[in-house]
Every structure is written in C-alpha cells, then in structure tokens.
Structure 1
Amino acid sequence: MNFDSSSSTSSDEIYDSMLLDFIEENRQQQVIEDAVTYVINTDVEEQEVRGSRREKMSRWIVLRDREEAHDRLVTDYFSDHPLYGDEKFRHATMRLGASGIQKCTAAMRMLAYGCPADQIDEYLKLGASTARECLIHYVDGVIREFSTEYLRKPNAEDLVRLLKQGEERGFPGMMGSIDCMHWEWKNCPAGWKGMYQGRSKRATVILEVVVSWDLWIWHAFFGTPGTCNDINVLQRSPVFDDILNGRAPQVNFTMNGNTYNQGYYLTHGIYPKWETFISAITSP
C-alpha cells in the first residue's frame, strides 16, 4: 500500500493543532478550578477566623456592677450630706474666692449701669454666672435688711406719723407725695427703643413712687416704658388697689369746715382732678 507523504504531513499538523487546543482548554479549565478552589478556601478560612474572634470576644466580657457605682456616685457628690461638699472643694483649690467688695461692686454695676453679666469679667475678673449670682444675693440682702422699713404699705403707726408730718407742714390728711421719674436705659435692645424712647429721645423706664418729706418710700412701681406719661403709669399702677377693694385705711381730718374720711396725695398739675389728689402749691 502506498501512502502520499504530503497527506501524511497535513494530518500530523492537524493532529498537533487539535492536541494543542485540547491541552490549552484543559489548562484554562484547571486555572478556573484552581481559582474557584482558592476563593472558597479563603472565604472558609476568614469565616473561621471571624468565628474564632467572636468566641474570644465573648470570653472577654467583664461583669461590672454599674448599680453600685451609681449609688456610690450619688452618695459622694449628690446626696444631702455628700462626702465631697463645697467646703472640701474650696479647700482643695487652695485659693480664696472673690472678695465681698468685688461681689458688691459687680452687683452695683449691673444695677446702676445696666452692665451685662459677661462685661463684669473685664475689670472685676468675675465670670458671668458668678456676677449673676452676686446680683441675686445682693438683692436678697437688700430685701432682708430693708423690707421691714421700706417698700411696704404703711401700718397704723406709720399712718399716724405721716398724717402728723403732713399737718405740721400745712397739709392735714396728706399721706405723701406721688410722682414719676424716668431712668435712662443705656443698654436697651435696639428692637425695643421705639417703645421705651420718649420725648427725651433716649430709652427710659418710668418709676412711680409715693414718698414722705424725709424720703421714706412706701410705694414703688417700676418698669413702664418711657413713651408713657404719669397718667398712663397711674392707670397701670397698683397704688389704689386697696381703695378699689375697700381696704384703704380710714383717714379723718377737717379743712375749711369740711370733714373728710379719706387721705390724699400731693401731685403736680398733670394728675386728674380726683379727691385723692391735691395739687402742690406752686410758690409756697
């Protein structure tokens, strides 16, 4: 049998090409299988590591007695008789607090000049919260010291004294003089100036008082906007509440042959023509 050499060579080439293609396909398939195996094994290892960490973390839990810590904190600092009170804290700092004159000056600057609390720190070196506390203590001290004598309604003894003083000065039945004055509000907020700015073109707050000849003030009504006048203030004032409610003291005096059973106040011309108001003498 005779074989053609050219055909044999062609067949070998075809076989070799098919063999190479088969080998290449197997190699690619193996690479894919190896990659899938690697990914699966890596994911399994990571899950095992995470599981091991969770097991370790669960073993590290520390039991803390938080309830006991809370009770101890309250007992030491927030109870009625704390272990570490104000005295121990002040002793621990080894520094004196603000002096009495500093505190009083801070309160007076806020009262007299209307200084904001945070401005006190510039000169007196007191924080805003401390300055406000000083003001509160100062006002409470003034009330405790002077409330028994000033800024209260006259009692029976006071009324006798006031009527005697008035009669000695030519005004029998007079219980005092009533008038209003304007206090300038230097630090009035800009949005409120229209309400508190009167004829003086400055923001003011009105004070209404009833006072005796020796400057004993027994009625004070403060806070009315400066755009009001004495009549507007009188309409808001509680000065005649006792009269309207029938609690006014009985005052009996005789003048020009007429007997009266109600006291009166000296005023100036703007006040209405009421029986309880008598205009002061212009040139006594």
Structure 2
Amino acid sequence: MIGFKSLLQMELDDNSSCNDDDYFIIAAAGIVQTFSGHKRKPGGSVPGHVVIYRDRQDGHQRMFQDYLAANPTYGPHLFRRRYRMKRDLFLRIMNAVEAHDDYFVQKRNAANVLGLSCFQKVTAAFRMLTYGVPADLTDEYVRIAESTALESLRRFVAAVVDIFEDEYLRYPNEADTARLLALGDQNGFPGNLGSIDCMHWPWKNYPVQLQGQYKGHVDKPTIILEAVALDDLWIWHAFFGMPGSHNDINVLHRSPLFANLAEGTAPQVNFTVNEHDYTMGYYLADGIYPSWATLVKTISKPIGNKNKYFAKAQEAARKAVERAFGVLQSRFAIVRGPARIWDTETLGMIMRACVIMHNMIVEDERVVDPDERFEDGGENVRPGHGQATRTLDQFIEAHKKIRDKEIHVQLKEDLIEHLWNHHPDLYT
C-alpha cells in the first residue's frame, strides 16, 4: 500500500510547473502528514499552500487552435478585434520577444513538466493591455496564475521597448522629415511637423504619500503623456511620466522635444510661406502653449474672414493628436482606465510599449502609395553623428530662436495669408 506522503508527492510532481506562483491558502492546516501521525513541513514547498492543476498543455493546444492554426476557430476578423492587430504582425512581435528574452522560451521544470508557452504568456499580456482587465481574469482562458501574468506583462513591455523603440519611436530622420513636410503642405500648413498635446492617465494604485504631487485639475492622481502626432495617427514623440499636477507648459519645459533642434543634430527644415523663408519646423498647439517660434496656436476670438478661416483650419488640423489619443486608448484599454500597477517605471514601459505597437499597427495597415518617393536619405541623425554638436553659445542662441515671439507672430500672419490665398476651399 502506498503511503499518503508518497501519493501527495506524486500528485505535486505531476502538477508542478515552472515560473508560476499558483498557490492558494487551504482551509485546514497540517494536511501533509506521515503515517506515524507526526506533522511536518513538506520539503521545498510553501506551508499551507497547494498547487492548482491547470493543464497548461491542453490550454496551449486550445489557444493555438483558436487563433494560430491553419484553420483557426476564430478567423482573421476576430483575431484583429481581440489582439488589436493582424496575425502576421502579432507573430512578428511574439517571435522577436521570445528571441530577446529567455523568460518567454517554454521550459521544463524539475519534474520534467512543460511550463507555459510563449503564446500563453504573450496572450496574457495582450489581454491586460487591450482589454484593461486585472491579471487574475486571464487565468481561466490562458491557464496562467496572477503573479505570472503580471511578470509576463512587465517583461513583455520591456522587451517591446528594447526591440522596437529605435525604429518606431525615434526622432524623425531626413526621410521622416520630408514625409512630415509633404503631409503638412497638403493640409495647407507648410513646415508643419505635427500636432502636440498632453493626455492624462489616471493612476489608481498610487502611493498615498504622492497623491498631492500627482493630483491635478481632474482631482485624482494622473500621469501625463506629451505626444506629437500626424494625420495618419503616427505618434513620433512620446514624453511620459510627469505628475498630473503639472500643466502643458510645465511638461513642455521639461520635454526633450526641442533638444535635438537646440543641439544642432536635427534634420534641416527649410520652407517658404508668403515669400518669407524659415529654417525651423513648427507644431500646431492649443491655446495654453506659449507663443514660441516652433508653435502655431489658433486665434481664440478671430475677427475677419481670414482669421476665422485660419482658426478653423488650425483647429481642424490640430485634432490629429486628439484622434491619436482616442485611437491609442481604444486599442489599448489599459491606458484608458485607472492604472493598477504600483511603480511608475512599469507604467512608463507600458505606455511606451502601447505607443510603439500603435505605430506598428499604423504602419502595417495604412495604405502606402508605391510611387511615393522622397529625395532625402533615411539615416537617423543622432547627437555625435552627422552635424557637429553646438558650442554653449550656439546652444543658447538656438533656444532663444526657438522661443522667439516675433518669429511666432510673423509665421502666423504668413500662414493666414497662405491658407486664404492658396487653400481657400480646403476647410470649408
């Protein structure tokens, strides 16, 4: 007859898995006993806990048949709906993450039992990102414990940022700048590099001692994302992490948006409006932003047909960043609802990963003109490469030029005339 201890040990060996904390507190203590009647702690396990048998292999096979098989249960339309992207793009991200971080490689534990697959861990992360659900809610379908789901989320977003940030969240290079200027010229705003604005992400599980720092005009703790977006919803600048008590001006003063321009490492932007030459691009902004040479705001109370038409055109074009925020929150509901993560570092990784995958979706699904060509090259311009870093005096002069109000006024007057004379029907 096999003893109780042997039966229990066999059951634990069969049900164990790697990298998982699937333990629940049992109601009665002292369940592990020997036939001699003496209670003792099981070696190597957690006292008072029992392992849950989740049948991970069967769960993986079911998920594979649902979405990744040659003839899946749920077709491309439902895959796109639930993962927010097409299957080819999802597989590209998943394979890159698995190759980048050994955590996502399926392994066997000490009992020679296969642990969670990469597909299960990445799907758990996607469920939390796309639906904004708690980690525990992924268990019933993915067959993954809460602690492992959270670990998968942290490692997944960190891997996405490490792998894809240089490509999908970079400062515009020469080719990008040429494309931005072409899009701006089509909209009646030559020299425009996009629209800038800020978004607040509510933070539910904030440290109590920091609530005053992170509470702003919405009367609850938030973290701010500053972004620059285009008409096609591509977000090429994302500055995240400022406390919600700051306004857009405070964020702008701490943002690295104009650092490359002041350092002399940004691609050259030369354009002509109303027979005046300009050497810096600009961004469309709302009324709270300062009157800098690199920002073009609307006219709050326009008088006259030209000013009214300009205000209408500027506000219509500036809505690109608002639309980008809306689509980002629609695709990744985790950044729409209150954040449940405790630390700001993980929250920053989540936001950056969502922006990166948002840009990957935009690139994957937008209609590309095969005849579209730009004359400039495509190499990234970084500090220390290409143009020489400026001296301190040149750096100070560049900052003064960025904040020059006279250029701001002249540029706005030229744009008013340009829109009225060359694009009278574009925003009617």
Query: Fold-level match, TM-score > 0.5?
Result: yes
SS in 2 for 1:147: helix
Offset of residue 282 of structure 1: 3.6
Distance 1:90 1:265, change over 3 A: same
Counterpart in 2 of 1:100? 119
Counterpart in 2 of 1:190? 208
Task: Return the match for 1:166 from 156, 159, 184.
Answer: 184
Offset of residue 238 of structure 1: 0.7
Task: Let me know the Cα RMSD of the aligned residues.
Answer: 3.0
Contact preservation (8 Å) 2:228, 2:236: yes
Does the alignment pair 1:212 with 2:230?
A: yes
Distance 1:125 1:97, change over 3 A: closer
Cα distance in 1, alignment partners of residues 311 and 155 from structure 2: 43
Deviation by residue 1:95-125 (Cα, 9 ceiling, x = unmatched): 542662454324653797596x7x6797664
Contact preservation (8 Å) 1:179, 1:208: yes
Deviation by residue 1:223-250 (Cα, 9 ceiling, x = unmatched): 1000100000011111111122122321
Q: Which amino acid in the other structure matches residue 181 of structure 1? A: M
Offset of residue 191 of structure 1: 1.8
Does the alignment pair 1:268 with 2:286?
A: yes
Of 140-149 and 263-272, deviating more is: 140-149
Contact preservation (8 Å) 1:253, 1:259: yes
Distance 1:106 1:251, change over 3 A: closer
Contact preservation (8 Å) 1:114, 1:185: no
Contact preservation (8 Å) 2:217, 2:245: yes
Contact preservation (8 Å) 1:120, 1:131: no
SS in 2 for 1:131: helix
Task: Return the match for 2:217 from 170, 180, 199.
Answer: 199
Counterpart in 1 of 2:312? 283
Deviation by residue 1:182-209 (Cα, 9 ceiling, x = unmatched): 1111222222111111111111100001
Cα distance in 1, alignment partners of residues 290 and 192 from structure 2: 17
Distance 1:99 1:160, change over 3 A: closer
Counterpart in 1 of 2:84? none
Q: Which amino acid in the other structure matches residue 206 of structure 2? A: C
Cα distance in 1, alignment partners of residues 131 and 250 from structure 2: 25
Counterpart in 2 of 1:240? 258
Contact preservation (8 Å) 1:184, 1:205: yes
Identity %: 45
Offset of residue 219 of structure 1: 1.0
Distance 1:161 1:270, change over 3 A: same
TM-score normalised by L of structure 1: 0.60
Deviation by residue 1:247-272 (Cα, 9 ceiling, x = unmatched): 23211111111111111111111111
Offset of residue 215 of structure 1: 1.3
Q: Which amino acid in the other structure matches residue 126 of structure 1? A: A
Does the alignment pair 1:126 with 2:155?
A: no
Q: Paired residues, what number?
A: 196
Contact preservation (8 Å) 1:166, 1:175: yes
Select the structure of larger CA radius of gyration: 1
SS in 1 for 2:213: helix
Higher relative contact order (CA 8 A, sep 6+): 2
Cα distance in 1, alignment partners of residues 274 and 113 from structure 2: 75
Contact preservation (8 Å) 2:224, 2:242: yes
Offset of residue 88 of structure 1: 7.9
Cα distance in 1, alignment partners of residues 296 and 107 from structure 2: 63
Contact preservation (8 Å) 1:209, 1:217: yes
Structure 2: gaps of 5 or more residues: 1-104, 299-309, 314-428
Cα distance in 2, alignment partners of residues 161 and 88 from structure 1: 45
Contact preservation (8 Å) 2:107, 2:114: no
Contact preservation (8 Å) 1:150, 1:216: no
Contact preservation (8 Å) 1:266, 1:277: yes
Task: Return the match for 2:165 from 139, 147, 150.
Answer: 147
TM-score normalised by L of structure 2: 0.41
